[in-house]
Structure 1
Amino acid sequence: MFKIFKLKENGSDVKTEIIAGLSTFMTMAYILAVNPLILSACGMDFTKVFAATAIASAISCFVMGFYANLPFALSASMGVNAMFAYTICNSMGYSWQWALTATLMEGIIFILLTVTNLREAIVNSIPPNLKKAIGAGVGLFVAYIGLKNGNVIVADDSTITAINSHWFTGTPLLTILGVVITAILMVRNVRGAILIGILIITLLGIPMGETKYAGGSFLPASPYFCEFSFSEIFTNHKTLSDFIIITVTLLYVDMFNTVGTLIACAGKSNMIQKDGSIPRTREALMADAVGTTVGAVFGTSTITTFVESSTGVAEGGRTGLTTIVVGILFLLSLFIEPIFGSIPSAATAAALILVGGMMIEPMKDIDYSDYTELIPAFLTILMMICTSSISDGILFGILSYVLLKAFTGRIKQLQLMTWVVAGLFVIRIIIGILS
C-alpha cells in the first residue's frame, strides 16, 4: 500500500488517509439523497438514480485513486443535475433518456480531449494569480454553501441572502454549535477534528429533533443501464441543434468546474508546482471524464470532482488512498442508505464553513500591486460567489485578464493557450445568447 500510493513520499500515513476519506465522504454524502431527488423531478426513478450515483461515484473515485493517486473525490455535479431535470427535460421538453445521451456524448468527448492533453493544457494556461484567486474563491463558495445548507443564511426580498432571524433554533443553531465545537478541536490540533465534529453534531441533533432516522431498505437497488435515445436526437433540425448546444454547454460547465476544483484543492494541499502546473492533471481529468461516461451508462447526470474534497485535504489527505476510501464508502452506501441519510445537514454544513475558511489562504499571495493581476483575481472571487458557479467565476477572471493585458500594452504576457481559453468563453457566451 505504501508503494502504490507513495504515502511516505507525500508525507502521509494510512490512518491519516482513512480519516481524510471518511471526512470527505461525510461532507459529500448528501449527494446520494439530493441527486436522486432532483432527477426524479423529470420522471427518473429515485432508487435507480440513487444506485447509479453511488456506483458511478465509486468507479470514478477508484480511477482517481489508483490512476491519478490524488485525494480528490468525485460524484454527480450539483447544478448540472438541476439543469438536466429542470431545463433540458422540464423546460425544453426532452426526455431524460435524451438528456442522458447528451451526457454520454459529453463524457466521450472529454475522454478524447483528455487523451490529447488539451484539458491539461487549459489547466496549466491559467495565470498564477488567477490560480490563487480560484482557490480562494472556491473556499468562499464552499463556506457559502455551508451557510445555506445550515440555514444560517436565507433568501430575503430586499437582499440576496440574510441572516436567518431564527438562527438560535433548529438547524441554524446546530450548525453554529458545529462550527464552534469543530473549531475548538482544530485549534487544539485534534486529529480528525472535522469528522469528530460531524459525529458530535449528529448526536446532538437527536434530542433537538434534527437527527432523524431516514428509513428505507438496506437492500441495494439496481441502477439504469444504457437508457439512451439516439433516435430522438434526429427527430428534426431543432432537436439536433438543441442536442449540440446542450452537449457543448455540459462540456463547458464540467470542464471549468473541474479545473477550478483541482486548482483549489491542489493549492490547499501544496501540490501546485513552481511553474504553476498540477502533478498528474491529465490522470485526474481522465477520472472525471470516465466518471461522466460511466454515470450516463448507469443513469445519472454529469460526474465531476467535488469541492468537498477539500475537507479530506484539510484532514491531511495527500494521496489516492483518501479517494479509494471514499469510493468504498460510496459502494457500502448502497447497503446503508437509511444510516447515512440520517446525518443532519447542520453536521456537514459546519464542516464546509470551516473548510472554506481554510481555503482562502492563497489570497495573501495575490499580487495586489498590479491592477492587471488584481482586478481579474477580484472578479474571479466575486463572481464565483455571486453566481454560485465556479465556471462563471473563471469566465469573468480569464476574460478580464486577457482584456486588461491586451489593452494596456502587456499582450506579450499572454500565452497562446490563455487566448484559446478566452475564446472558449466567448463561444460559450455566444451560445448562451443564441439559445
Structure 2
Amino acid sequence: MNFFKLKENQTSIKQEMIAGITSFFALSYIIIVNPLILAEAGIPPELSVFGTILVSAVGSILMGLWGNAPLVLTPGMGVNAFFTYTIVGSLELSWQQALAVVFVSGIIFTCIAYTSISKLLVEAIPDSLKHGITAGIGLFLVVIGLENGGILADGGANSFITLGDLSQPLVLFTVIGILLSGVLYLRNVPGSFFIGIAVITIISLVTGVHEVGASSFSLSNLSDYPALVGAFDFSTVLSVPFILAVFSLTMILIFESIGLFEGMLEDKTRFTSAFKVSGIMTLVSSLLGTSPTIPAAESASGIKAGGKTGLTAVFAGGLFLLSLVFTPLLSYIPNAALSPVIVITGAIMMENLKHIPFDDFSEWFPAFLIVVMIPLTSSIVDGLAFGFVAYPIFKLANGEFFVVKKAMKVVSFLFLLTMVAIAII
C-alpha cells in the first residue's frame, strides 16, 4: 500500500476502509434517486441504475488511483435535475441529445483540466470565497441531513421549512444518532460515524420502526443495459438550445467541481490530478448513459471519519460494484442512521468561517452570500454565482478593484452570463 503513502499521511488500511464505507453509505441513496430523476427525462430507470452504479464505481476508483484523493465521484444531485428539467424539459432536447450535451461539456471540461487554465482559475479565487464555499457546502449538508432525517420538513404555504414531527420514532432516532455520533466524534473514537450508522440501524430494525420495503432492482435487466451505452444524438449540435445547454452545464460542472475540491481537499497539491479525473468522468458519464458525475459533498463524511488518501475512494468504489448484487440490502439502513453523519460532517465544515476576515465587509459579505445561497437554492453553482458576481462589485465600491485578479473578473462575468442564460432558459 506504499502507492497511497499511508504512513506519510498518518493513516492505515483499516482507517481508510472505515472512511470508504462511511462515504459509501452516506451516498448510497444516489443508486435509487438518480435513476428516478433521469426517468422523468425518458431514460428507463431499470437500466440507468446500472449506469449510476458503474460510473460511481469507476469514477471513485479512478479518483483514488490517479488523484489519490479520498473523494467519491457520483452523478450529482442538482446536476441530474438540470439534465432532466432544464436540458430535456425546458430546452426540449431528447435524453439522447442531452447525453450529447454532456459529452461536449466533458470535452471542454477535460481540455481546461489539462491546461494551465484550471490552475489559473483556482489561484484567482480569493481565500475568503474559498472558505465561504466550504462553509456553504457544510450548511447545505446540514440541511440535507436534517430533512432526510425528518427533523426539518416542508412548511407548505405558511413557511418554506418547518420543524418535523418529533413524535415519529425515526425522527427521534435521527436526534439520538446525532447525539451519539457527535459524542463518539468528540471522544475521538475510531470509526465513530460508522458505529453511529450501525447502532441506529440495529435499533430501528430490532424495534420494528424501520420497515424494509421490496426492491425493484434486478440483475436480470443488465442484459438490456447496452442500449444506453453511447446513445448520443448530435443532430441538434448547432442549435441555440444545444449551445445554451453546453455553456450552462460546462460552467456548472467546472465551478461546482472547483468549489467541492477546494472545500474538501485538505491536501491542495492533489487538486490538479483530481480535477483531471473529474473532467474525464464527465465524458465517461455520457458514454454510460447517465448525468455527469461530480465529487460528492457527502465525501466529507468519509474524510471526517479518517479518510486521507485515495484508498478511501477505492474502497467506496468497490462497494458500488458490490451493490450490483447487494443493492436490496441498502433498504435495511434507514435515513435516521445516515442523516446524523451528514449533519455532523456539514457542521464541522462550517469551522472555516473563522478564517473569513469579518472586519472587511467587501470580503465577508460575498462569502456570506455563498454560505446562505447554496443551501437556500439547493444548488452549489447558484450559491457560487451570487458570491462571485458580488465580489468584484463590492471591491469596486471599496476602492479596491485593482486587487481583483483578471481571471476572477472573467469568472465573475461568466457567472453573470450563466445566470442570464439560465433565466432565459
TM-score under structure 2 length normalisation = 0.94
Superposed counterparts of 1:130-279, under 5 Å: 130-156=129-155, 157-164=157-164, 166-206=165-205, 207-216=207-216, 219=219, 221-222=222-223, 223=225, 224-231=228-235, 233=236, 240-266=239-265, 269=266, 271=267, 278-279=268-269
Secondary structure (helix, strand or coil) at the match of 1:173 reads helix
After TM superposition, the structure 1 = structure 2 runs for residues 393-412 of structure 1, keeping only pairs within 5 Å, are: 393-412=383-402
Report the 3-state secondary structure (helix = DSSP H, G, I; strand = E; otherwise coil) of the residue aligned with 1:93.
coil
Q: State whether residues 30 and 341 of structure 1, in contact with CA within 8 Å, keep that contact through their aligned partners in structure 2.
A: no
Q: How does 1:20-419 map to 2 (within 5 A)?
A: 20-156=19-155, 157-164=157-164, 166-206=165-205, 207-216=207-216, 219=219, 221-222=222-223, 223=225, 224-231=228-235, 233=236, 240-266=239-265, 269=266, 271=267, 278-419=268-409
Report Cα offsets for 1:13-58 as digits up to 9, x if no partner.
1111111111101101110010011111222221211110111111
**Structure 2, unaligned runs of 5 or more:** none
Counterpart AA for 2:275: L
**How far did residue 311 of structure 1 move?**
0.4
Aligned AA (2:28) = A
> What CA distance in whole angstroms lies between the structure 1 residues aligned with 2:219 and 2:421?
44
Say if 2:356 and 2:364, in contact at 8 Å, map to a contact too. Answer: yes
Q: Look up the SS of the partner of 2:294 in the other structure.
A: strand
SS in 1 for 2:302: helix
Closer/same/farther in 2, CA of residues 107 and 169 from structure 1, 3 Å limit? same
Q: 1:139 to 1:117 in 2, by over 3 A?
A: same
1: CA distance, partners of 2:423 / 2:52: 32
Separation in structure 1 between the aligned mates of residue 61 and residue 135 of structure 2, nearest angstrom: 28
Q: Is the 8 A contact 2:51 2:288 kept in 1?
A: yes
SS in 2 for 1:304: strand
Q: Percent identity?
A: 35
CA contact (8 A) 1:257 1:391 kept: yes
SS in 2 for 1:334: helix
Moved more, 204-213 or 77-86: 204-213
CA contact (8 A) 1:58 1:331 kept: yes
Distance (Å, rounded) in 2 between the aligned partners of 1:355 and 1:102: 33
CA distance in structure 1 between the partners assigned to 2:93 and 2:169 by the alignment: 40
Looking at structure 2, the residues matched to 92 and 181 of structure 1 have their Cα atoms a distance apart, in angstroms, of 47
Any conservation in 2 of the 1:147–1:153 contact (CA below 8 Å)? yes
| CA positional deviation for 1:131 | 1.0
Q: Read off the aligned partner of 2:416 and give its amino acid letter.
A: V
Moved more, 357-366 or 111-120: 111-120
Contact 1:33 1:341 in 2 (8 A): no
What is the CA-CA distance between 1:364 and the residue it aligns to?
A: 1.2
**294 and 198 in structure 1: CA distance in 2 versus 1, 3 angstrom threshold:** same
Instruction: State the number of aligned residues.
Output: 419
Equivalent residue letter for 1:105: V
Superposition RMSD in Å? 1.7
In 1, Cα distance between equivalents of 2:217 and 2:392: 54
Q: Please say if residues 385 and 419 of structure 2, whose CA atoms lie closer than 8 Å, have aligned partners that are also in contact.
A: no
One-letter amino acid of the structure 1 residue matched with residue 284 of structure 2: V
What is the alpha-carbon distance in structure 2 between the residues aligned to residue 213 and residue 351 of structure 1? 23
Alignment partner, residue 428 of structure 1 = 418
The TM-score normalised by the length of structure 1 is 0.92
In the alignment, the residues of structure 1 paired with residue 406 and residue 87 of structure 2 have an alpha-carbon distance, to the nearest angstrom, of: 34
- The whole-number CA distance in structure 1 between the counterparts of 2:217 and 2:27 is 21
Seen in structure 2, the aligned counterparts of structure 1 residues 62 and 105 have a Cα distance that, compared at 3 Å, is same
* 2:133–2:371 Cα contact (<8 Å) kept: yes
